[in-house]
Amino acid sequence: MKASAFIYDLGGFKYFNIRTRKFYNLKNDLGSLIASARDNSKINSWLVKNYFVTECENYEDEIREFNNIKKIRNRNEITITFTVTTKCEQKCAYCFQNHTDRSSMDIDTINNLEKLLLNEIESNKELKIINLILFGGEPLLEKELCHELIDRVSKIKTNNNLIINTVLTTNGNVIDIDLFDKFKVFDTRAVQITFDGTEADHNKSRGGGSDSFFQEIVKKLKVYEQYFSVCIKYNFNKKNINQFSSLVDTIENNFAKKNHLYKLEALQTSLSYSDQDYFYHINDKSLSLAYLELAKICIDKGVYYDIESIFRPPCSVGAPYSLTVEPNGDLSSCVSAFSIPFFKIGNIRETDSLWIERDRFIPKINPDDVCVKTKCAFYPICETGCIYEKVVSGDDSIICRKKFYNEFIPELHSIREQSNEDDKLSY
Protein backbone atom coordinates (compact mmCIF):
# COMPACT_ATOMS: atom_id res chain seq x y z
CA MET A 1 0.00 0.00 0.00
CA LYS A 2 1.35 3.41 -0.97
CA ALA A 3 0.16 6.99 -1.34
CA SER A 4 -2.12 7.63 -4.29
CA ALA A 5 -0.68 9.67 -7.16
CA PHE A 6 -3.88 11.76 -6.99
CA ILE A 7 -3.10 13.54 -3.70
CA TYR A 8 -2.04 17.19 -3.84
CA ASP A 9 0.24 18.19 -0.97
CA LEU A 10 -0.43 21.74 0.26
CA GLY A 11 2.22 21.53 2.99
CA GLY A 12 1.77 21.52 6.76
CA PHE A 13 -0.14 18.19 6.76
CA LYS A 14 -2.77 19.74 4.49
CA TYR A 15 -3.88 17.93 1.35
CA PHE A 16 -6.33 18.22 -1.50
CA ASN A 17 -7.64 14.83 -2.59
CA ILE A 18 -8.26 14.95 -6.35
CA ARG A 19 -10.51 11.88 -6.29
CA THR A 20 -12.89 13.15 -3.59
CA ARG A 21 -12.38 16.87 -4.42
CA LYS A 22 -11.99 17.69 -0.73
CA PHE A 23 -9.44 19.44 1.45
CA TYR A 24 -8.05 17.57 4.47
CA ASN A 25 -6.10 18.74 7.52
CA LEU A 26 -4.30 15.62 8.79
CA LYS A 27 -2.63 15.13 12.17
CA ASN A 28 0.59 13.96 10.57
CA ASP A 29 2.20 13.74 7.15
CA LEU A 30 0.67 11.19 4.81
CA GLY A 31 3.76 8.97 4.71
CA SER A 32 3.73 8.57 8.49
CA LEU A 33 -0.01 7.79 8.50
CA ILE A 34 0.47 5.09 5.87
CA ALA A 35 3.28 3.56 7.94
CA SER A 36 1.13 3.55 11.09
CA ALA A 37 -1.80 2.04 9.18
CA ARG A 38 0.04 -1.30 9.03
CA ASP A 39 -0.72 -1.77 12.74
CA ASN A 40 -3.90 0.31 12.98
CA SER A 41 -6.95 -1.01 11.14
CA LYS A 42 -8.95 2.15 11.80
CA ILE A 43 -6.40 4.39 10.09
CA ASN A 44 -6.00 1.84 7.30
CA SER A 45 -9.75 1.75 6.68
CA TRP A 46 -9.97 5.55 6.59
CA LEU A 47 -7.07 5.90 4.14
CA VAL A 48 -8.61 3.29 1.80
CA LYS A 49 -12.15 4.67 2.05
CA ASN A 50 -11.00 8.20 1.19
CA TYR A 51 -8.69 7.10 -1.66
CA PHE A 52 -5.48 8.29 -0.04
CA VAL A 53 -3.75 5.00 -0.81
CA THR A 54 -3.55 2.44 -3.59
CA GLU A 55 -2.24 -1.06 -4.17
CA CYS A 56 -1.39 -0.23 -7.79
CA GLU A 57 2.22 -0.67 -8.81
CA ASN A 58 2.39 2.26 -11.22
CA TYR A 59 0.61 5.40 -12.42
CA GLU A 60 -1.01 3.77 -15.46
CA ASP A 61 -2.55 1.06 -13.28
CA GLU A 62 -3.95 3.67 -10.93
CA ILE A 63 -5.67 5.40 -13.85
CA ARG A 64 -7.20 2.05 -14.80
CA GLU A 65 -8.28 1.54 -11.18
CA PHE A 66 -9.87 5.02 -11.18
CA ASN A 67 -11.83 4.22 -14.36
CA ASN A 68 -12.98 0.83 -13.02
CA ILE A 69 -14.14 2.25 -9.68
CA LYS A 70 -16.17 4.91 -11.47
CA LYS A 71 -17.97 2.18 -13.38
CA ILE A 72 -18.59 -0.01 -10.32
CA ARG A 73 -19.85 2.87 -8.17
CA ASN A 74 -22.11 3.95 -10.99
CA ARG A 75 -23.98 0.63 -10.87
CA ASN A 76 -26.36 1.58 -8.04
CA GLU A 77 -27.39 5.01 -9.30
CA ILE A 78 -29.02 6.17 -12.55
CA THR A 79 -28.98 9.82 -13.62
CA ILE A 80 -31.38 10.71 -16.44
CA THR A 81 -31.54 14.18 -17.96
CA PHE A 82 -34.93 14.11 -19.65
CA THR A 83 -35.33 16.80 -22.30
CA VAL A 84 -39.05 17.49 -22.32
CA THR A 85 -38.60 20.06 -25.07
CA THR A 86 -35.92 22.19 -26.68
CA LYS A 87 -38.48 24.94 -27.31
CA CYS A 88 -38.08 28.10 -25.26
CA GLU A 89 -39.74 31.52 -25.15
CA GLN A 90 -36.37 33.10 -24.50
CA LYS A 91 -33.61 33.39 -27.11
CA CYS A 92 -30.24 33.06 -25.41
CA ALA A 93 -27.59 33.60 -28.07
CA TYR A 94 -25.11 31.28 -26.34
CA CYS A 95 -27.51 28.31 -25.96
CA PHE A 96 -25.88 25.01 -26.98
CA GLN A 97 -29.18 23.92 -28.61
CA ASN A 98 -29.36 26.75 -31.14
CA HIS A 99 -28.03 24.54 -33.92
CA THR A 100 -30.95 22.10 -33.52
CA ASP A 101 -34.53 22.07 -34.79
CA ARG A 102 -36.53 22.94 -31.68
CA SER A 103 -39.03 20.22 -30.80
CA SER A 104 -40.81 18.44 -27.95
CA MET A 105 -40.93 14.80 -26.96
CA ASP A 106 -44.08 12.70 -27.36
CA ILE A 107 -45.90 10.33 -25.02
CA ASP A 108 -44.15 7.36 -26.61
CA THR A 109 -40.83 8.60 -25.23
CA ILE A 110 -42.28 8.65 -21.71
CA ASN A 111 -43.72 5.16 -22.23
CA ASN A 112 -40.31 3.84 -23.22
CA LEU A 113 -38.57 5.52 -20.30
CA GLU A 114 -41.05 3.98 -17.85
CA LYS A 115 -40.57 0.56 -19.41
CA LEU A 116 -36.77 0.81 -19.27
CA LEU A 117 -36.77 1.99 -15.65
CA LEU A 118 -39.00 -0.90 -14.59
CA ASN A 119 -36.77 -3.36 -16.47
CA GLU A 120 -33.69 -1.90 -14.81
CA ILE A 121 -35.24 -2.13 -11.34
CA GLU A 122 -36.12 -5.77 -12.00
CA SER A 123 -32.77 -6.81 -13.48
CA ASN A 124 -30.34 -4.77 -11.35
CA LYS A 125 -30.78 -5.47 -7.64
CA GLU A 126 -27.93 -3.06 -6.88
CA LEU A 127 -29.98 -0.10 -8.11
CA LYS A 128 -30.88 2.17 -5.19
CA ILE A 129 -31.11 5.71 -6.55
CA ILE A 130 -32.72 7.38 -9.56
CA ASN A 131 -31.85 11.01 -10.29
CA LEU A 132 -34.32 12.61 -12.71
CA ILE A 133 -33.61 16.01 -14.25
CA LEU A 134 -36.40 17.73 -16.18
CA PHE A 135 -34.56 19.66 -18.84
CA GLY A 136 -35.23 21.96 -21.78
CA GLY A 137 -35.45 24.34 -23.58
CA GLU A 138 -38.04 25.39 -21.11
CA PRO A 139 -39.72 22.19 -19.86
CA LEU A 140 -42.68 24.02 -18.34
CA LEU A 141 -43.85 25.08 -21.80
CA GLU A 142 -45.01 21.45 -22.10
CA LYS A 143 -47.00 21.19 -18.89
CA GLU A 144 -49.07 18.15 -19.88
CA LEU A 145 -45.95 16.15 -20.71
CA CYS A 146 -44.31 17.20 -17.44
CA HIS A 147 -47.39 16.08 -15.50
CA GLU A 148 -47.41 12.73 -17.30
CA LEU A 149 -43.72 12.14 -16.67
CA ILE A 150 -43.93 13.01 -12.97
CA ASP A 151 -47.06 10.83 -12.55
CA ARG A 152 -45.24 7.82 -14.05
CA VAL A 153 -42.10 8.31 -11.96
CA SER A 154 -44.19 8.89 -8.81
CA LYS A 155 -45.85 5.52 -9.38
CA ILE A 156 -42.43 3.87 -9.71
CA LYS A 157 -41.41 5.53 -6.44
CA THR A 158 -44.54 4.28 -4.66
CA ASN A 159 -44.18 0.68 -5.86
CA ASN A 160 -40.43 0.27 -5.29
CA ASN A 161 -38.04 0.84 -2.43
CA LEU A 162 -35.96 3.45 -4.23
CA ILE A 163 -34.61 6.90 -3.57
CA ILE A 164 -35.73 9.25 -6.33
CA ASN A 165 -34.20 12.71 -6.50
CA THR A 166 -35.54 15.34 -8.89
CA VAL A 167 -34.26 18.56 -10.41
CA LEU A 168 -36.35 20.97 -12.48
CA THR A 169 -34.27 23.26 -14.72
CA THR A 170 -36.19 26.35 -15.75
CA ASN A 171 -35.77 29.99 -16.68
CA GLY A 172 -38.14 30.73 -13.79
CA ASN A 173 -40.81 32.43 -15.87
CA VAL A 174 -43.49 29.73 -15.69
CA ILE A 175 -45.43 28.60 -12.62
CA ASP A 176 -47.52 25.41 -12.34
CA ILE A 177 -48.61 24.87 -8.75
CA ASP A 178 -50.38 21.57 -9.47
CA LEU A 179 -47.20 20.17 -11.01
CA PHE A 180 -44.96 21.52 -8.26
CA ASP A 181 -47.20 19.89 -5.67
CA LYS A 182 -46.64 16.48 -7.30
CA PHE A 183 -42.90 16.69 -6.64
CA LYS A 184 -43.52 16.30 -2.88
CA VAL A 185 -43.43 12.48 -3.16
CA PHE A 186 -39.73 12.51 -4.10
CA ASP A 187 -36.81 12.30 -1.69
CA THR A 188 -35.26 15.57 -2.82
CA ARG A 189 -36.75 18.31 -4.96
CA ALA A 190 -34.55 21.01 -6.44
CA VAL A 191 -35.09 23.72 -9.02
CA GLN A 192 -32.31 25.40 -10.98
CA ILE A 193 -32.99 28.92 -12.27
CA THR A 194 -30.33 30.61 -14.39
CA PHE A 195 -29.34 34.28 -14.42
CA ASP A 196 -27.02 36.03 -16.86
CA GLY A 197 -26.43 39.20 -14.86
CA THR A 198 -28.44 41.99 -13.31
CA GLU A 199 -31.67 43.22 -14.90
CA ALA A 200 -30.45 44.98 -18.06
CA ASP A 201 -27.87 42.38 -19.05
CA HIS A 202 -30.10 39.43 -18.17
CA ASN A 203 -32.94 40.73 -20.33
CA LYS A 204 -30.56 41.53 -23.19
CA SER A 205 -28.94 38.11 -23.00
CA ARG A 206 -32.31 36.37 -23.06
CA GLY A 207 -33.20 38.10 -26.32
CA GLY A 208 -36.87 37.16 -26.26
CA GLY A 209 -38.26 40.61 -26.91
CA SER A 210 -39.24 41.29 -23.30
CA ASP A 211 -37.73 43.91 -21.02
CA SER A 212 -39.43 42.36 -18.00
CA PHE A 213 -37.97 38.83 -17.91
CA PHE A 214 -35.76 39.62 -14.95
CA GLN A 215 -38.40 41.25 -12.76
CA GLU A 216 -40.99 38.58 -13.57
CA ILE A 217 -38.60 35.81 -12.53
CA VAL A 218 -37.42 37.54 -9.36
CA LYS A 219 -41.03 38.03 -8.22
CA LYS A 220 -41.70 34.29 -8.62
CA LEU A 221 -38.75 33.11 -6.53
CA LYS A 222 -40.84 32.98 -3.35
CA VAL A 223 -43.27 30.62 -5.08
CA TYR A 224 -40.49 28.27 -6.17
CA GLU A 225 -38.92 28.11 -2.72
CA GLN A 226 -42.20 26.86 -1.24
CA TYR A 227 -41.85 23.63 -3.24
CA PHE A 228 -38.13 23.21 -4.03
CA SER A 229 -34.63 23.71 -2.77
CA VAL A 230 -33.61 26.60 -5.00
CA CYS A 231 -30.32 26.67 -6.90
CA ILE A 232 -29.44 29.91 -8.66
CA LYS A 233 -27.08 29.22 -11.54
CA TYR A 234 -24.93 32.16 -12.59
CA ASN A 235 -23.57 32.01 -16.14
CA PHE A 236 -20.64 34.35 -15.85
CA ASN A 237 -18.28 35.85 -18.40
CA LYS A 238 -15.85 38.74 -18.63
CA LYS A 239 -18.69 41.25 -19.15
CA ASN A 240 -21.03 40.31 -16.31
CA ILE A 241 -18.74 39.08 -13.55
CA ASN A 242 -18.83 42.44 -11.77
CA GLN A 243 -22.62 42.23 -11.53
CA PHE A 244 -22.72 39.15 -9.32
CA SER A 245 -22.60 40.90 -5.95
CA SER A 246 -25.51 43.15 -6.84
CA LEU A 247 -27.43 40.20 -8.28
CA VAL A 248 -27.09 38.22 -5.04
CA ASP A 249 -28.42 41.17 -3.05
CA THR A 250 -31.44 41.47 -5.35
CA ILE A 251 -32.21 37.77 -5.26
CA GLU A 252 -31.75 37.36 -1.50
CA ASN A 253 -34.09 40.30 -0.89
CA ASN A 254 -36.79 38.47 -2.83
CA PHE A 255 -36.48 35.17 -0.96
CA ALA A 256 -38.30 34.42 2.27
CA LYS A 257 -35.70 31.80 3.26
CA LYS A 258 -31.89 31.97 3.30
CA ASN A 259 -30.76 28.45 2.39
CA HIS A 260 -30.18 28.71 -1.34
CA LEU A 261 -27.26 27.56 -3.44
CA TYR A 262 -25.43 29.63 -6.06
CA LYS A 263 -23.96 27.47 -8.81
CA LEU A 264 -21.15 29.36 -10.52
CA GLU A 265 -20.26 28.40 -14.08
CA ALA A 266 -18.27 30.17 -16.77
CA LEU A 267 -19.91 30.15 -20.19
CA GLN A 268 -18.30 27.71 -22.60
CA THR A 269 -18.07 27.41 -26.34
CA SER A 270 -20.99 26.12 -28.42
CA LEU A 271 -21.53 25.10 -32.04
CA SER A 272 -23.80 27.99 -32.92
CA TYR A 273 -22.43 31.07 -31.18
CA SER A 274 -19.58 33.01 -32.76
CA ASP A 275 -19.38 36.02 -30.41
CA GLN A 276 -17.25 34.32 -27.77
CA ASP A 277 -14.55 36.94 -27.25
CA TYR A 278 -15.76 37.64 -23.73
CA PHE A 279 -15.71 33.96 -22.70
CA TYR A 280 -12.89 32.81 -20.46
CA HIS A 281 -10.38 30.38 -21.89
CA ILE A 282 -10.26 27.18 -19.86
CA ASN A 283 -6.62 27.79 -18.83
CA ASP A 284 -6.76 31.57 -18.31
CA LYS A 285 -5.40 32.85 -15.02
CA SER A 286 -8.32 35.28 -15.17
CA LEU A 287 -10.76 32.34 -15.02
CA SER A 288 -9.16 31.13 -11.80
CA LEU A 289 -9.35 34.62 -10.34
CA ALA A 290 -12.99 34.93 -11.43
CA TYR A 291 -14.07 31.76 -9.62
CA LEU A 292 -12.17 32.82 -6.50
CA GLU A 293 -13.69 36.30 -6.59
CA LEU A 294 -17.23 34.92 -6.87
CA ALA A 295 -16.59 32.40 -4.09
CA LYS A 296 -15.37 35.22 -1.82
CA ILE A 297 -18.53 37.20 -2.54
CA CYS A 298 -20.66 34.22 -1.55
CA ILE A 299 -18.64 33.73 1.65
CA ASP A 300 -18.91 37.42 2.56
CA LYS A 301 -22.68 37.40 1.98
CA GLY A 302 -23.18 34.16 3.84
CA VAL A 303 -24.70 32.18 0.95
CA TYR A 304 -23.86 28.66 -0.21
CA TYR A 305 -21.94 28.21 -3.43
CA ASP A 306 -20.91 25.47 -5.86
CA ILE A 307 -17.81 25.79 -8.06
CA GLU A 308 -17.61 22.16 -9.17
CA SER A 309 -17.88 23.32 -12.80
CA ILE A 310 -14.22 24.37 -12.69
CA PHE A 311 -13.39 20.65 -12.61
CA ARG A 312 -14.42 18.99 -15.84
CA PRO A 313 -14.46 16.16 -16.55
CA PRO A 314 -15.32 13.68 -15.03
CA CYS A 315 -18.91 14.00 -16.14
CA SER A 316 -21.72 11.93 -17.64
CA VAL A 317 -19.79 11.10 -20.83
CA GLY A 318 -17.94 8.12 -19.36
CA ALA A 319 -20.60 6.99 -16.87
CA PRO A 320 -22.67 3.99 -18.10
CA TYR A 321 -25.73 4.89 -15.98
CA SER A 322 -25.83 8.60 -16.83
CA LEU A 323 -27.49 9.82 -20.02
CA THR A 324 -29.54 12.53 -21.69
CA VAL A 325 -32.80 11.73 -23.47
CA GLU A 326 -33.45 14.12 -26.38
CA PRO A 327 -36.99 14.91 -27.61
CA ASN A 328 -36.73 12.45 -30.53
CA GLY A 329 -35.67 9.68 -28.15
CA ASP A 330 -31.97 9.79 -29.00
CA LEU A 331 -29.70 9.04 -26.06
CA SER A 332 -26.63 11.20 -25.60
CA SER A 333 -23.69 10.71 -23.27
CA CYS A 334 -23.23 14.50 -22.88
CA VAL A 335 -25.86 16.96 -21.63
CA SER A 336 -24.40 19.75 -23.80
CA ALA A 337 -24.11 17.73 -27.01
CA PHE A 338 -27.57 17.91 -28.56
CA SER A 339 -27.87 16.32 -32.00
CA ILE A 340 -24.12 15.70 -32.21
CA PRO A 341 -23.64 12.20 -33.69
CA PHE A 342 -20.32 11.60 -31.89
CA PHE A 343 -22.09 11.51 -28.51
CA LYS A 344 -25.10 9.43 -29.55
CA ILE A 345 -25.25 6.14 -27.62
CA GLY A 346 -28.62 4.84 -28.83
CA ASN A 347 -32.32 5.62 -28.95
CA ILE A 348 -34.83 5.04 -26.17
CA ARG A 349 -37.11 3.15 -28.59
CA GLU A 350 -34.38 0.70 -29.57
CA THR A 351 -32.33 -0.01 -26.44
CA ASP A 352 -33.26 -2.69 -23.91
CA SER A 353 -31.18 -1.29 -21.04
CA LEU A 354 -30.19 2.06 -19.56
CA TRP A 355 -26.73 0.67 -18.74
CA ILE A 356 -24.77 1.65 -21.84
CA GLU A 357 -21.02 1.07 -21.92
CA ARG A 358 -18.87 4.14 -22.62
CA ASP A 359 -15.46 2.63 -23.25
CA ARG A 360 -15.03 4.62 -26.46
CA PHE A 361 -15.24 7.86 -24.43
CA ILE A 362 -12.58 6.82 -21.91
CA PRO A 363 -9.20 8.34 -22.87
CA LYS A 364 -6.64 5.75 -23.92
CA ILE A 365 -3.61 5.50 -21.66
CA ASN A 366 -0.59 6.47 -23.73
CA PRO A 367 2.83 6.23 -22.00
CA ASP A 368 4.05 9.10 -24.19
CA ASP A 369 1.30 11.49 -23.07
CA VAL A 370 2.37 14.33 -20.80
CA CYS A 371 -0.14 13.15 -18.16
CA VAL A 372 1.59 9.79 -17.79
CA LYS A 373 5.15 11.06 -18.20
CA THR A 374 4.73 13.60 -15.40
CA LYS A 375 2.42 11.36 -13.30
CA CYS A 376 0.03 14.30 -13.08
CA ALA A 377 -2.02 14.36 -9.87
CA PHE A 378 -4.91 16.12 -11.59
CA TYR A 379 -5.93 13.34 -14.00
CA PRO A 380 -9.25 12.53 -12.20
CA ILE A 381 -10.46 16.13 -12.68
CA CYS A 382 -9.06 16.48 -16.19
CA GLU A 383 -8.96 13.16 -18.06
CA THR A 384 -7.03 14.93 -20.85
CA GLY A 385 -9.79 17.54 -21.30
CA CYS A 386 -13.52 17.99 -21.94
CA ILE A 387 -14.56 15.80 -24.89
CA TYR A 388 -17.38 18.19 -25.84
CA GLU A 389 -14.95 21.09 -26.13
CA LYS A 390 -12.61 18.94 -28.20
CA VAL A 391 -15.39 17.95 -30.61
CA VAL A 392 -16.69 21.52 -30.94
CA SER A 393 -13.21 22.93 -31.55
CA GLY A 394 -12.13 20.08 -33.83
CA ASP A 395 -8.94 19.69 -31.80
CA ASP A 396 -8.50 16.28 -30.14
CA SER A 397 -5.20 17.08 -28.44
CA ILE A 398 -4.70 16.97 -24.67
CA ILE A 399 -5.97 20.04 -22.81
CA CYS A 400 -3.43 20.23 -20.00
CA ARG A 401 -4.60 22.19 -16.94
CA LYS A 402 -1.75 21.32 -14.59
CA LYS A 403 -0.44 24.89 -14.35
CA PHE A 404 -3.99 26.19 -13.89
CA TYR A 405 -4.79 23.83 -10.99
CA ASN A 406 -1.37 24.35 -9.41
CA GLU A 407 -2.32 28.01 -9.04
CA PHE A 408 -6.03 27.65 -8.32
CA ILE A 409 -6.16 24.95 -5.61
CA PRO A 410 -3.78 26.64 -3.10
CA GLU A 411 -5.65 29.93 -3.54
CA LEU A 412 -9.01 28.24 -3.01
CA HIS A 413 -7.68 26.54 0.11
CA SER A 414 -6.44 29.88 1.41
CA ILE A 415 -9.80 31.67 1.17
CA ARG A 416 -11.58 28.67 2.66
CA GLU A 417 -9.22 28.63 5.65
CA GLN A 418 -9.77 32.34 6.20
CA SER A 419 -13.53 31.78 6.33
CA ASN A 420 -13.35 28.54 8.40
CA GLU A 421 -15.22 26.56 5.75
CA ASP A 422 -15.50 22.79 5.95
CA ASP A 423 -13.77 20.42 3.54
CA LYS A 424 -16.25 20.29 0.68
CA LEU A 425 -16.29 22.19 -2.60
CA SER A 426 -20.06 21.97 -2.95
CA TYR A 427 -21.95 22.19 0.31
Over range 92-112, report the average pLDDT: 87
Residue 316, φ and ψ in degrees, nearest 5: -70, -20
Q: Which residues contact 404 (CB under 8 A, 6 or more apart)?
A: 282, 283, 285, 287, 288
Q: How far is CA 266 from CA 192, 203, 294, 310, in A?
A: 16, 18, 11, 8
pLDDT at 74 over 80: no
pLDDT per residue as tens digits for the range 293-343: 999 999 999 999 999 889 877 688 888 889 999 999 999 999 888 889 999
pLDDT at 425 over 50: no
pLDDT at 150 over 90: yes
For residues 194-231, b (16+ Cβ closer than 10 Å) or e, as one string? Answer: bbbbbbebbbebbeeeeeebbeebbebbeebbebbbbb
Residue 128: predicted pLDDT: 93
Q: Nearest to residue 365, comparing CAs of 347, 389, 383?
A: 383
Instruction: Enumerate the domain spans of the chain.
Output: 2-70+364-418, 74-347
Pairing of strands 14-17, 344-347: unpaired
Q: How far apart are CA 209 and CA 90, in angstroms?
A: 8
Over range 407-427, report the average pLDDT: 73
**Whole-number average pLDDT of the chain:** 89
pLDDT per residue as tens digits for the range 209-220: 567 889 999 999
Q: How far apart are CA 308 and CA 314, in angstroms?
A: 11
Confidence bin at 278 (pLDDT 50/70/90): confident
Q: How far apart are CA 268 and CA 385, in angstroms?
A: 13
- Specify whether the backbone of 303 is left (phi greater than 0), alpha (psi in -120 to 50) or beta: beta
High-pLDDT (> 90) share of the chain, %: 64
Give the residue ranges of DSSP H helices in 183-256: 199-206, 213-224, 244-253
pLDDT at 400 over 60: yes
Q: How far is CA 109 from CA 114, 155, 249, 348, 413, in A?
A: 9, 17, 41, 7, 45
- The CATH fold of domain 74-347: TIM Barrel (3.20.20)
Residue 424: predicted pLDDT: 42
pLDDT per residue as tens digits for the range 12-63: 999 999 998 999 999 889 999 999 998 899 999 999 999 999 999 999 999 9
Q: How far apart are CA 214 and CA 199, in angstroms?
A: 5
Over range 124-146, report the average pLDDT: 94
pLDDT per residue as tens digits for the range 86-95: 998 888 877 8
Residue 273: predicted pLDDT: 54
Handedness of CA 346, 310, 308, 204 (dihedral sign): negative
Confidence bin at 72 (pLDDT 50/70/90): confident
pLDDT at 221 over 90: yes
Q: Nearest to residue 114, comparing CAs of 137, 135, 136, 130?
A: 130
Q: Which residues contact 126 (CB under 8 A, 6 or more apart)?
A: 75, 76
Residue 358: predicted pLDDT: 86
